[in-house]
Structure 1
Amino acid sequence: MPIRTNADGLSFEALVSEQGAVSQLPSLQRFEARDGTALAYRHYPSESPTALIVLHGSGTDSKYLATFAQALADAGVAMVYTPDVRGHGPSPQRRGDIDYIAQLEDDLADFIYHIKTENSVVSQVVVGGHSSGGGLAVRFAGGEYGHLASAYLLLAPYLGHDAPTVRNNSGGWAEPSVAKIIALSLLNKLGVTSLNGLTVLRFNLPPEYRNGSETLAYSYRLMTGFNPSNYRDELRSINVPSLFLSGAEDEALFADRFEPTVRPHIPDAEIVIVPGTSHLGLLVSEEGIEVVRHWLKGL
């Protein structure tokens, strides 16, 4: 099947079943968040005492992470967990929306507690994410629960619309309602949050990749909670091992700008660019997976 891109060049080859992800897909399991909601995740078992959580990017769910997660589990460097972020997946309680901006951080903290409770051999938890999932991991690092992670794995992380690493509209993937976002941001600063359920962001997923489980629009509170609040401050809060991995041919981000953007805030970060690799292709890149495997083994 030929690689399909949207009008602005974002490639979706890693979402195609030919990549082998579907055949490796574990069944969805569920854990209970603090508000009583049952949230879904996939588990890739391993003998390793390291638990790696990988958060998916915007508009989709945990399925496309299967090849990446299975490869690391098979290598014995981590048991891997890929949750469906609240508001996403085959049957979310409310697609494209959450109850309050900090809810995704609370969910992730609850998930870490669930993993440790269910598996007593876990010695360390690595929090990771791809694209917006990486942005959520960065936000988590700078929040009240950041200490729960022993390390951070940031895969082409979205650091926010004002970060120098981000291309215009993420390479054509995202369509923000800028005026509405600005207005809601001002209202939130005044303490007015009653309009945070309004839709402010849409995504350009080609029709042939849609199966009903995609999430093509976000409310203001979901968009805000899925991104870093202030990437500079949140990066500075990371004082544990961290790996930033991106593809040289990333259509949504500027891979060569991670070094000057991240290094001033995390001097000891490992920052690696994988040659010939796209934004989504990073998750099925053998070279990229090998970099992560080696890094996890060294923790």
Structure 2
Amino acid sequence: MRKTGRQGLGLLLYALCSLVLYVAPCYVHGQSAAGKAPDSSKLEQQGLQLIHKPEPVFRTPAVERKDSVTYPGFPYRSRVFTARDGNALFTYHFPQKGSKTIVLLLHGVLSSADKLNYTAGLLRATLNSDVYAMDHRGHGRSGGQPGDVSYTGQYEDDIADIIGQLRRRYPHHKIILAGHSMGGGIALRYALKTGVPPVAAYLLFAPLLGPTAPTIRMTAPPMRQGEEPFLKIHLSRIFGLKMLNTIGQHQYDSLRVLFFHVPDGSRISSYSYRANESMCPADYKAAFAAIRQPLLVLVGSRDEAFVPAAFEPAVKNSSQGVTFVIEGATHNSVRHDSTAMERIKQWAIHHQI
């Protein structure tokens, strides 16, 4: 299966899994189906049994996959920021002489900022802006444990730390927070946070809106005979951790719950429970409603991960943002599509960004 198809299936399974969790009141809300508070000792016992069930395994070797939309070649400078915990956050800086705008660009699941070279170069030209494409902690050249965070929400705290440092160095620049897929979901989590450095606008490419969003595909694409799924989810462990979290136990949140069929030696082959929780907002409506700045959402008409037509009403019903479905673009290619870049240019001119 092509990379894009596998990505779509992976995100689909993640979303369906999360959706189940959100409609399980005894796990999420701390109440039984009858409306009574759960017995903490029983929840603990059941939760511990669930989280220690065997992890899923892949029985066939993974095939090396290439990102067909990377097109490396735009020159950049290496810039390392320091997070509040001392962790190094690596960025690829694409400078634009005389610019008064900065784009902070966030990559998607299993990816890294070097895959955004072409996107960053195009955004630099389209917006006449400096672009910083960052590696999330545990990804690419940034420090941190691969596929894990120290606590739920650390990804967006890293964003706040970088934006704060950029703001201090360039106090009069406008900052646009941009993200693709999981990066878009993290940007939406940032929009929900209070007490963080503000941004001038949000630019989202096929963002992961979360488990309750209508953008989630409810059917999986077909697979070839004998082919293994790109993503396997430890559903029992997620349920168990939800139960333990309900009674205030978080000491097992570092356990792995998402397992990807990638070649041996890949930096990331799994994500922890707390990293999984940090990928997108719990409530996409609240996230969109929290955005008072200009918001542009772009999705390809051939997106394999999400339902393209569902984005516009999802955005319109909860925000003042605008959405464009880019004809012929896929989940990845929307990042560098010429029509998408023209939409970005006109949006920026309209809002004087």
Q: Same fold (TM over 0.5)?
A: yes
| Aligned position for 1:115 | 166
Q: Quick one: distance in 2 between partners of 1:42 and 1:56?
A: 12
Give the structure 1 partner of residue 131 of structure 2. Answer: 80
Which residue in the other structure is 1:200 paired with? 257
Q: Name the residue aligned to 2:292.
A: 239
Instruction: Report if the CA contact (8 A) 1:101-1:224 is conserved.
Output: yes
Determine if contact 1:77/1:297 at 8 Å carries over to the other structure. Answer: no
> Could you tell me how far apart the structure 2 residues matched to 1:265 and 1:160 are?
15
Evaluate the alpha carbon distance shift between residue 170 and residue 100 of structure 1 in structure 2; reply closer, same or farther with a 3 A threshold: farther
Q: Aligned partners of 1:20, 1:110: CA distance in 2, in Å?
A: 27
Question: 2:59 maps to which residue?
Answer: none
Q: How many equivalent pairs are there? A: 289
Aligned pair in 2 of structure 1 residues 88, 180: CA closer, same or farther (>3 Å)? same
Look up the match of 2:303.
250
Matches within 5 A, 1:132-211: 132-145=182-195, 148-168=198-218, 174-205=231-262, 207=263
Q: Is the 8 A contact 1:138 1:234 kept in 2?
A: yes
Which residue number in structure 1 is paired with residue 178 of structure 2?
Answer: 128
TM-score, with length taken from structure 2: 0.75
Gaps spanning 5+ residues in structure 2: where? 10-63, 222-228
**Residue number in structure 1 paired with 2:332:** 280
| Cα distance in 2 for residues equivalent to 1:296 and 1:150 | 11
Q: Residues of 2 paired with 1:5 and 1:203: CA distance? A: 12
Letter in 2 for 1:63: D
**SS of alignment partner, residue 23 of structure 1:** coil
Partner of 1:4: 2
Q: Which amino acid aligns with 2:271?
A: Y
State the AA in 2 paired with 1:52: V
Q: Secondary structure at the match of 2:175?
A: strand
Aligned residue in 1 for 2:47: none
Instruction: Give the equivalent residue in structure 1 for 2:52.
Output: none
Which one of the candidate residues 314, 317, 320 is aligned to 1:261?
A: 314
Q: Is the 8 A contact 1:98 1:221 kept in 2?
A: yes
| SS class of match (1:126) | strand
Sequence identity (%) = 31
The amino acid of 1:298's aligned partner reads H
Question: How far apart, CA to CA, are the structure 2 residues paired with 1:69 and 1:170?
Answer: 31
Match of residue 24 from structure 2: none
Q: Is the 8 A contact 1:128 1:154 kept in 2?
A: yes
On the 8 A contact 1:247/1:274 being kept in 2, the answer is yes
Rounded Cα–Cα distance in structure 2 between residues aligned with 1:260 and 1:86 = 33
User: Is the CA contact 1:10–1:173 (under 8 Å) kept in the aligned structure 2?
Assistant: no
- Contact 2:315-2:322 within 8 A present in 1 as well: no
Could you say what secondary structure the match of 2:81 adopts? strand
| TM-aligned CA deviation for residue 182 of structure 1 | 2.0
Deviation at 1:55, TM superposition (A): 0.7
Higher gyration radius (CA): 2
**Separation of aligned partners in 1, 2:338 and 2:89:** 30
| Residue 66 of structure 1: how far off its partner (Å) | 1.1
> Shift in Å at residue 169 of structure 1?
8.8
Q: What does the per-residue CA deviation read over 1:185-213, in whole Å, with 9 as the maximum and x for residues that have no partner?
A: 222222111001000112345x5xx8845
161-170 vs 282-291, which moves further: 161-170
Gaps of 5+ in 1: none
Q: 1:270 aligns with which of 319, 322, 341?
A: 322
Q: Which whole-Å CA distance do the structure 2 matches of 1:233 and 1:76 have between them? A: 28
- Alpha-carbon distance between aligned partners in 2 of 1:220 and 1:106, rounded to the nearest angstrom: 17
